[in-house]
Amino acid sequence: HFGVQRLYSVLSFTPPILSLLYSLLLAHTSSLRIWTHIRALSHTIMLSLSSRVIASASAAASAFGRRAFHTLPATVLEVKEMARHFANSELMPIAAKTDREHLFPAAAVQQLGELGLMGVAVSEEDGGSGMDSLTYAVAMEEISRGCAATGVIMSVNNSLYCDPVKKNASAEQKEAWLRPFASGEKLGCFALTEPGNGSDAAAASTTAKRDGDNYILNGAKAWITNGYEADAAVVFATTDKEKKHKGISAFLIPKPVEGLTLGKKEDKLGIRGSSTCTLNFQDCVVPKENLLGKEGDGFKIAMQTLDGGRIGIAAQALGIGQAALEVAGKYANERQAFGTPIGKLQAIQFKLADMEVKLESARLLTYKAASLKDAGLPYSKEAAMAKLAASEAATFVSHQAIQVCGGMGYVSDMPVERHYRDARITEIYEGTSEIQRLVIGNAVLKQFK
């Protein structure tokens, strides 16, 4: 699916003769393999066009004040433009209603799967799009710019469900527990937090006791995004209390399943289109084949997953902040006061300048963290820095956007009040700002030992 969409993106920049070549390619190649062939062709027939592709995509992006995009590969820019078009045409028109009525955007989520955005960094062999973390982050920002609730649904499926399954599942498990989720056919969730432990993930009280060929799970998992709609969950439970955090294991659990009940849908400040609930396990029987990795691997899997997840949340926060900045910038150009557009007033220009600097700085940190992950290099500190900077930037920018818009920013006629509410959660989930500072501080201290 992703290959087809990206093919269309390329065709929009190519002359008729190259379009004909791609049409022939499309007629003789399965959709999942199209992009592989396109990339091979780029060394010959697309070389002369690559600068035009980059320039055209960069021009569209820079219209919204994005100066860093010229450094991104052409393939990433194409995905960005595809995601931006989808956000503009499909998400922005429904975002207010999604928020107001707490509606799960089922149609939009299905379309994300068709576009290949529910398993961006999963290999084509496992049902995904075969791209990388940088591409995922760029797409994630654009989707969240259109609708933050849709963005977090996409983020959880990509970062918190598909990523740990991709890295730790057996080949047999991947067929059942990864392929349909990476393709968007099914939706996943991630169950680590508990009512009593919050940021202290090592204090898991949910237990999984071995009983022959099964494990029996008892306990509760709180604040589970996608909890109602998900078809499966990566669940963490203690299999050996004596080993503390090294006694935590991860399990793949289908939904619905006997012994699992769902708590109420939480009435949240923001991201209201995504469901959040508690998963309650009471003598829930899980086959030993559903163990993800080995017994005792759970805490390590959770921490590695959260590192990657923080890149996704950083990108979500960037999208929210960018959306707020765009509204504020447009309003500043149009709103008249004292006989001039308010954008010409120094007080407003200073606000817009601070907003742009914070977003662009956080964006570059996010790109760096994603690039380090793609290179197979340590990135925990950089992911924490990106998440911290982007989430606090989103809160700051959306707050300032309301100030720029004045009274109009405070009412739901304009989207910046929604952006403000949506931004707040990015400083809390997948590690609070305080946790990010601990991660960063510890990493800095290690540098000087």
The string of pLDDT tens digits covering residues 373-413 is 999 999 999 999 999 999 999 999 999 999 999 999 999 99
Report the alpha-carbon distance of residue 301 to residue 368 in Å, rounded.
22
Could you identify the residue written with the tokens 């997840």? 309
Task: Reduce the DSSP state of residue 104 to 3 states and report it.
Answer: coil
Identify whether 430 is a catalytic site residue: yes
318-335: average pLDDT: 98
Report the alpha-carbon distance of residue 363 to residue 141 in Å, rounded.
9
Superfamily covering domain 2-182: Acyl-CoA dehydrogenase/oxidase, N-terminal domain (1.10.540.10)
Tell which residue, 281, 236, 237, 225, has the closest CA to residue 256.
Answer: 281
Q: Where are the domains of the chain?
A: 2-182, 188-299, 307-447
Which residues are 277's β-sheet partners? 224
Q: Would you tell me which CATH number, out of the four given (1.20.140.10, 2.60.120.10, 1.20.1560.10, 3.40.50.620), belongs to the domain 307-447?
A: 1.20.140.10
Task: Please state the pTM of the whole predicted model.
Answer: 0.85
Give the N- to C-terminal CA distance of the chain in Å, as an integer: 49
10-27: average pLDDT: 43
CATH architecture of the domain with range 188-299: Beta Barrel (2.40)
Which tokens sit at 21? 């070549």
Which tokens sit at 329? 């910038």
Report the alpha-carbon distance of residue 410 to residue 355 in Å, rounded.
18
Q: Under a CB-based contact definition with an 8 Å cutoff, are residues 266 and 428 in contact?
A: no
Per-residue pLDDT tens over the stretch 210-222: 999 999 999 999 9
192-202: average pLDDT: 84
Could you identify the residue written with the tokens 């989808």? 86
Report the alpha-carbon distance of residue 149 to residue 106 in Å, rounded.
11
- Residue 237 host element (H or E): strand 232-238
User: From the candidates 124, 194, 382, 430, which is the catalytic residue?
Assistant: 430
Q: What percent of the chain has pLDDT over 90?
A: 82
Could you identify the residue written with the tokens 């990657």? 308
